[in-house]
Structure 1
Amino acid sequence: MNGHGDEEDDHGDVFLDEDDVLQEITVDEEDLPDADDDAGLGTDIEEPDDSMHIFTGHSGEVYTVVSNPNEATMVATGGGDDKAFLWKIGQTNWGFELQGHKDSVSALGFSADGELLATGSLDGLIQVWDTSSGKVKCKLEGPGGAIEWLRWHPKGHLVLAGSEDSTVWMWNADNKNPFLQMFSGHGSSVTCGDFTPDGKSICTGSDDASLRIWNPRSGETIHVIKGHSYHAEGLTCLTMTDSKNITDSTLAITGSKDGSVHVVNVITGKVVSSLTAHTDSVECVAITPSFPWVATGGLDQKLIIWDLQHSSPRCTCEHEEVVTCLLWLGASQYIATGCVDGKVRVWDSLSGSCVRTFTGHSDAIQSLALSKNGDFLVSVSLDQTARVFETADIPNK
């Protein structure tokens, strides 16, 4: 009984006499945490910066990045400050500021041999630079509107570019008079395009909801793909198959504002399959050289890995925000995505799981590139920086 009574006393009311007060402490109300504060720590917890290098040469938003196919660590970036930069990862004392544009640098591309860099701008001008000296080799003029994209021929110094004025242009950067051909036929901005892997044909997609296959020598249209079996709204992105794992190496895969993805046989001009799963605009598309798989990302916050042989999704990878860009990490099973939330995520295409999230950017990612040696992943953002992440940090890679 006594033990039980002691227990009751322990849990009873406790009173303090004035003699028990050791010290009075005055608390300013401003020092007290707000009721909605998370334990007084605040809600904005700064995320770690996973980058091993930050390039801060730009004074405006950075829109595009590409890596040199023959130099292990050389990359180029372009942005809203009307400039492009040529720099090397890990070599802070090596770099060139590429000036001369009068509007944002919207497109970049290294030639297949890595000797030349082309910079395209919203001012309609393309400049070609010698990558060893950082000097202008030539200026390519003609388009009456902004440069939407540019590509180099897979075997030579021919530059192809699509313009907002609905035209496509081709130049030879080695000629004194570089203009070769102008392709006219689209009814709206030419938003995407490329040479076929063999370099013998050209494919271009437009905001007019059509894909056109061209003869590069004559400038004539070979096929026009549009209508009920194709996209209902403008094309946003395009990739060409060049994989040995795909029996027909002349396929163009296109994404559209209507959320659809279509596969077209470039030789016949026929739609051979439709990939349906996105619920909003498809913003980016890329094919892996190792598997018969293609990846698409979009405004519906999804990355979808497709099996081209069966025209069906292998896996769907959910994001917290819009997927703006994606990139297969060489011939590996891994794919990186850039997102509006400023994060770069690396996914295992076999399992569909996110194996690494790189943080550091404070605004939307716009473009991704993988260094030639495969050791570095470079992302550019609206936060005015380019960040370099080490691929060695990817588990099991």
Structure 2
Amino acid sequence: MASITSVELNYLVFRYLQESGFTHSAFTLGYEAGINKCTIDGNLIPPGALITFVQKGLQYLEMEANLSNVSMLVFITTFATTFGVWVEELADRDMPMDQEDRDNIVKHEENGTTSVVGPEPMDIATTSTITSQESCEIPNSDVTILEGHTSEVCACAWSPTGSLLASGSGDSTARIWTIADGHSKSGGQNSPSNVLVLKHVKGRTNEKSKDVTTLDWNGEGTLLATGSYDGQARIWTTNGELRTTLSKHKGPIFSLKWNKKGDYLLTGSCDKTAIVWDVKAEEWKQQFEFHTGPTLDVDWRNNVSFATSSTDNMIYVCKIGETRAIKTFAGHQDKYVHDLREHTKEIYAIRWSPTGPGTNNPNHPLILASASFDSTVKLWDVELGKLLYSLNGHRDPVYSVAFSPNGEYLASGSLDKSMHVWSLKEGKIVKTYTGNGGIFEVCWNKEGDKIAACFANNTLCVLDFRM
């Protein structure tokens, strides 16, 4: 008789929390239960799996109850049997796929599992390639810890024009910190006089629906946009004035980004959609509905096109005015530009490199970086739809990636409490920092000599970077 293990049940609950928008609860469960270390293939688990199992269990319970008086033990046994049959059906089901996918299927008969493998990626950096880990550690003298938030710090963003650093937290506030130029002195910039608090709820500050999950500055550094668990995006001035509230999403906003011109704001939500907002008109311009799971991250490629990622493991490249995820430079209509499928678990964050035509680094190719719960960072050639490199240095899910302004380095933050800085030219980790909690986000200042990292232990760190 098939049975359900505690690992399988934990994974189903973890996925349910993610899909329902309870990011912090999912984070805590994933950390304590070691979800990232389990061998369950998330690609085989459909959205809403836990609810489906419960509904089926209740249907069996009702059916059995009509026949005789049954105990809860019967319900649990039936529920477990349903789960086991469902897993077996997934493994044996002839899913529609093209010939390339069929060629990439590898069945491991020895343990009864099935996995999909793609082309062999080039690992340009792993921790084993570092000759001296100690030489890469950022010293404490180059670290400033900013304290004041009363809950986990979920997001951070540097102003593109000055020394302002914004942070968003589960305490229902965003904060704007003034960071002095030059190298930091540990603990030197955490006084209340250097911080402006933006309250997202009046009165009590522990309302979960007002958690600030994401934020971003416009190109001029004059406006700060924040996204919240209540599904609203808010736009603030640098003096803390709330200018605009944008409402249309039906679930928590996980990511938002200004385009370079500053006339559009892009938001991604747990409601599986992305919305482009006309900031001047203070209304939505277009809503994109193509993901089958919560939209975890969004990032502009230019002023009119952007990329989105989701718990459905997919990355789509989209364009304003088009109703589907397409790319017009290839001459194709009514199809995706590329489906990037090399990750084995959910893709949590994506970022475009500051390189290519129209940037300050035009002689370097445009690259898309993706961070995943599979503990890797992958770099993509979007023009060709090709995996360039896989960066394997973290031990736990990677929540954030950020390119340096010159495009030569990539910072990554992980649940393993570490931030790595990768040299894309040398193909290795050149700097690393280990904090006291999982890292939700990392970001560079405009000069490229400071990196901010926000932690689950309610702190924000500013790290001096120099080579």
Which category of TM-score, normalised to the shorter sequence, fits these structures? 0.5 to 0.7
Q: Which amino acid aligns with 2:286?
A: Q
> For the residues of structure 2 that align with 1:145 and 1:111, how far apart are their CA atoms?
24
Partner of 1:251: 367
- C-alpha displacement at 1:258, in angstroms? 3.0
Aligned to 2:284: 179
> Which whole-Å deviations, capped at 9, do the CAs of 1:126-164 have from their partners, x for residues lacking one?
110111x32111111111111111111012231111111
Query: Which residue type is aligned with residue 388 of structure 2?
Result: S
Match of 1:305 in 2: 422
Counterpart in 2 of 1:315? 428
Partner of 2:232: 125
1:79–1:294 CA distance, 2 compared to 1 (3 A): closer
- Name the residue aligned to 2:251: 145
Which amino acid in 2 is paired with 1:273?
Answer: L
Q: Residues 341-393 of structure 1, C-alpha deviation per residue, up to 9 Å, x if partnerless?
A: 42xxxxxxxxxxxxxxxxxxxx444434445566755443333343555x3xx
Does residue 384 of structure 1 match 2:458? yes
| SS of 1:150 mapped into structure 2 | strand
1:367 paired residue number: 441
Give the counterpart of 2:262 among 149, 153, 156: 156
Q: How many residues align?
A: 297
Write the mapping of 1:1-150 to structure 2, written as runs, cut at 5 A: 50=141, 55-71=146-162, 73-89=163-179, 92-93=192-193, 95-101=195-201, 102-131=209-238, 133-150=239-256
Q: What is the aligned counterpart of 1:205 among 309, 324, 331? A: 309
Cα deviation code 1:72-105 (max 9, x no counterpart): x212121111111223235853543212354211
Measured in 2, the distance between the counterparts of 1:69 and 1:242 equals 13
Across the aligned residues of Structure 1 and Structure 2, the Cα RMSD in angstroms comes to 3.4
Once residues 96 and 107 of structure 1 are traced to their aligned partners in structure 2, the CA distance between those partners, rounded to angstroms, is 17
Do residues 195 (structure 1) and 300 (structure 2) align? Answer: yes
User: Which one has a bigger Cα radius of gyration?
Assistant: 1
Contact 2:224 2:237 in 1 (8 A): yes
- Residue 116 of structure 1: CA displacement? 0.5
Assess, with a 3 A threshold, how the Cα gap between structure 1 residues 382 and 237 changes in structure 2: closer, same or farther: closer
User: Shift of residue 305 of structure 1?
Assistant: 3.1
Structure 2 Cα separation of the partners of residues 242 and 375 of structure 1 = 16
What code does the residue aligned with 2:149 have? H
What TM-score results when the alignment is normalised by the length of structure 1? 0.64
Kept in 2, the 8 Å contact 1:162–1:193? The answer is yes
Deviations 1:180-214 (A, max 9, x none): 11110000011122010x32311111110111111
Which residue of 252, 271, 279 maps to 2:386? 271
Q: 1:233 aligns with which of 334, 340, 345?
A: 345
Greater displacement, 110-119 / 372-381: 372-381
Q: CA deviation at 1:294?
A: 4.4
Structure 2 length as normaliser, TM-score?
Answer: 0.55
Q: Which moved more, 1:275-284 or 1:210-219?
A: 275-284
Gaps of 5+ in 1: 1-47, 317-333, 343-362
1:216 aligns with 2:320: yes
2:412–2:442 CA contact under 8 A, matched in 1: no
- Counterpart residue identity of residue 154, structure 2: Y
Runs of 5+ unmatched residues, structure 2 = 1-138, 180-188, 202-208, 327-335
Alignment partners' CA distance in 1, 2:196 and 2:415 = 35
Question: Do 1:239 and 1:254's aligned partners in 2 also have CA atoms closer than 8 Å?
Answer: yes
Note the alpha carbon deviations across 1:41-80, whole angstroms, 9 max, x for none: xxxxxxx975886544423222222121112x21212111
* Contact residue 58 and residue 79 of structure 1 kept, 8 A: yes
Q: Does the CA-based 8 Å contact 1:246-1:292 persist in structure 2?
A: no
Name the structure with the higher helix share.
2
Partner of 1:8: none
| Distance (whole Å) between structure 1 residues aligned to residue 318 and residue 290 of structure 2 | 10
Is the CA contact (8 Å cut-off) linking 1:77 and 1:86 kept in structure 2? Answer: yes
Partner amino acid for 2:279?
A: A
Higher strand share: 1
Residue 247 of structure 1 deviates from its aligned partner by 5.5
Distance in 2 between the 1:181 and 1:257 partners?
Answer: 29
